[in-house]
Amino acid sequence: MDLTTIKKELKGRVAKGLNFGVEAVDEVLQADSDLYNQFILLKSKYNDLMYLSTINTLPYEQIELGLNRLRNHLLSIIDQLEDDHLEKQEVAQAYNINDLPTRRANFFKLLDIHYLNLRAITYVEIFGTDEQEIFESREAIFKFYQNHQRKFRHREDLAGNEGTAIVKDYFREWFGNEIGILEVYFKNIKHLLRYALANEVEQSFFLATLQSLFSRFEQALIFYYAYCGIDEAFTTLVKKGGLVDDSILPLLIRPEDLEGWV
């Protein structure tokens, strides 16, 4: 390969994932070149960041910021490469996938947190002054959503743009005032989506796993959280990750809202 082709291939590896870019540059860079110290510093920071991510000591936003800085630094090193920096004149075609078990382990740790958040969701129905019934987990979400459906039943002002505004305003206000475990539940779904979409090699596996997690009533609640626009980043991730599908159409307050949305 000529130098231009090598640089293109190395940047392609970075696009597949920072870990693949780091491995590829490590493979071709001479240990006695003047860029090697820069690269070792970058690799050390990358390993430290990956360790911190496995023990959940940093929020994902900070991890993402650190990874972006490392990507920029690695791309800068690639841009500076000259022929005399190279130990090899080609990049191996096979990926080193030794770290995929770690990626999956991290993903399933996030799933564990999701299920903890789901189990913590409760809905209480009170009958008279003394009797009450407590619903938990998916049953609680079913009750929450059923309550929303009842509030819109028999309304005749939901057609067209006016109806769109009514539904969006209702859910934006409700979710905006909901500061309990549902807020944490949605934040972790957002984190899961970001993690899944950031891993190109494992993306299809991660997204398929996520898409299989939710009942139709959970999907409907996720849809309205995204649809009302209370968190635009969440909305973008739900669309990109294909987290809701037309199986929820019979449950929606306005089925037409899903059309053209996903």
Tell me the mean pLDDT in the region 244-261. 87
Place of tokens 């920096």: 85
Domain ranges of the chain: 3-96, 117-257
* Residue 29 reports pLDDT greater than 70: yes
d(CA 135, CA 121): 8
Residue 95's closest CA among 195, 199, 1, 207? 199
pTM: 0.65
Three-class DSSP category at 80: helix
Residue 104's closest CA among 204, 23, 190, 22? 204
Length of the chain: 262
d(CA 212, CA 178): 26
pLDDT score recorded for residue 54: 62
d(CA 176, CA 76): 42
Chain segment 188-235, per-residue pLDDT in tens? 999 999 888 887 767 888 999 999 999 999 999 999 999 998 999 999
* Residue 17 reports pLDDT greater than 70: yes
pLDDT score recorded for residue 179: 63
